[in-house]
Amino acid sequence: MSSPALDIESLEAAYEPGLPIVRGANLRVHPGEIVAILGPNGAGKSTLVKAVAGLVPISAGRVLLHGADITCVPAHRLVFEGLAFVPQTENVFANLTIAENLELAAAILKADKRERLDPVYAMFSDLQRQRALLAGRLSGGQRQMLAVARALIARPRVLMLDEPSAGLSPKLVGQVLDQLKRVRDTGVTVVLVEQNVKAALAVADRAAVLVEGREHLVGTAAELRADARIAELYLGRHVQAQAVA
């Protein structure tokens, strides 16, 4: 049996020593899955993926990527290990064109531009048509598409996204999340943090609900859609939320 694409074991992480936001979280993601990380505000969702991406210090536990321990790998090296991360904001260079954003990613990786760009343009035809347009002139949905496309230049095995639907209209949310299904179909495992529970469960294979920095519910999307406890968590009952998402 193949090893998990991503295995998060008893992870603790904090912005400040002694003030953990992620408190012993566990999550196993299998190759080829889309897994959504859900939870009320302050549950530690964004902190969890940022810790995995090397952007928040980890104080305990470990992270395995296809069986290899990447817990202590610096953030700028993780892309070479096969892990790409798309942050919620500031995820494109607004003063560069679409083409320049993608070419810069290839240049940093010291990869052949045409070899890397051609498959991405084939997947994101709108970006190809507008490749001379400044990223700063794109709509919110188009920016998210560009951010995902730029991450795919690295040919990651696992792609993580922090709230890709934030600030988008319902129509654009559907377009962005549908694109993630096409990304998954190319063999990339996808992990996304989402506040839009309905949209996330429509696209995900499985989901984990975090409460106070650890997993509270884990199951298939269908199981969680049918679980009455989801409403309780999102209405805030029985939850003492942390101040940091």
Q: What is the tens place of the pLDDT at every residue in 20-60?
A: 999 999 999 999 999 999 998 899 999 999 999 999 999 99
- Global confidence as pTM: 0.91
For 95, phi then psi, to 5°, come to -90, 5
pLDDT (0 to 100) of residue 234: 67
pLDDT(244) > 60: no
Q: Is residue 124 part of a domain?
A: no
The CATH number given to whatever domain includes residue 30 is 3.40.50.300
pLDDT band at 18 (very low <50, low <70, confident <90, very high): confident
In a domain, 145, yes or no: no
Task: Report residue 236's pLDDT band, with 50, 70 and 90 as the boundaries.
Answer: low
In a domain, 169, yes or no: yes
Residue 96 resides in a domain: no
Domain total of the chain: 1
Is 175 domain-assigned? yes
Residue 229 has pLDDT above 90, yes or no: no
- What is the chain's Cα-based Rg? 18
128 found inside a domain: no
69 within some domain: yes
Domain that holds residue 80: 6-88+158-235
The answer to whether 153 touches 117, Cβ cutoff 8 Å, is: yes
Instruction: For residue 48, tell me if it sits in a domain.
Output: yes
- Judged by phi (left if over 0) then psi (alpha if -120 to 50, else beta), residue 176 lies in alpha
If you count DSSP H runs as helices and E runs as strands, how many of each does the chain have, helices first?
10, 10
